[in-house]
Amino acid sequence: MKTSNVMWGFVFILVGCILGVNALGIAHINIFFDGWWTLFIIVPAFINIFKDDDKEAAFVWLMVGVILLLACNDYISFDLVWKLALPAILVLIGISIMFKDRVEKEVRVKIKESRKDADRKTICATFQEKIEKADKKAEEVSLETIFASMKYDMRDVEVKKDMVIKTSTVFGSTKIIAPKGVAVKVSASGIFKDTINKVKGKDAKYTIYVDASTVFGSVIVSDK
């Protein structure tokens, strides 16, 4: 049983019990306190910390939610929050850049050795939802998603060598559906990002390397 599923289940049970107690008149628990809406940021972020995927975005969103909750209850002023917002973002970007090289050396080398951007096909999605199905002989591509969502379906691709897929996601989401029988390794950089790799691919002959650059968005790689 996944920890995240248990925690989500507990949240719904708790809310249900509170609403039931209020309905029966046993007690009156006000769930609409000042800043209650920040729980829609805090709770998902807190639960995501316990997942095996990228935790950086979860910690950042948890911090944002807590700060907004404190501001709603006058523990800190909103003026201070807005004044510090830009410096905080710049600091987080700087930290992200500094620690970008934490990815495995193998991934860095493969990405560096991949073909130049001028030689690779670019697929763009802007202000829309885009679904792109790769053909059987798909080459390395760059996926650019800006204020949109993109799904790149590679399930029919016949992978006969290691390949690199580059993604640039800004205020959006990019999902790559990998073919069966391959491994996937991800190099993630950016700020306010959520990078999830659901492909295990143990003992696979070939590997797809994903070079993901994300700003206020998510990149998900799965095989379905």
pLDDT in tens, 159-187: 888 888 989 999 899 999 998 888 888 88
User: Tell me, what's the pLDDT at 153?
Assistant: 92
Q: Is the pTM of this model over 0.85?
A: no
pLDDT band at 116 (very low <50, low <70, confident <90, very high): low
User: Tell me, what's the pLDDT at 44?
Assistant: 83
- CA 89 to CA 79: how far, in whole Å? 16
Instruction: Provide CB contacts within 8 A for 27, sequence distance 6+.
Output: 21
pLDDT band at 149 (very low <50, low <70, confident <90, very high): very high
For the segment 215-220, the average pLDDT, to the nearest whole number, is 87
- CA 63 to CA 187: how far, in whole Å? 24
| 3-class state of residue 39 by DSSP | helix
pLDDT above 90 coverage of the chain, percent: 10
pLDDT in tens, 193-215: 778 888 877 778 888 889 888 88
User: Tell me, what's the pLDDT at 101?
Assistant: 53
- CA 23 to CA 194: how far, in whole Å? 38
Backbone angles phi, psi at 105, to 5 degrees: -60, -40
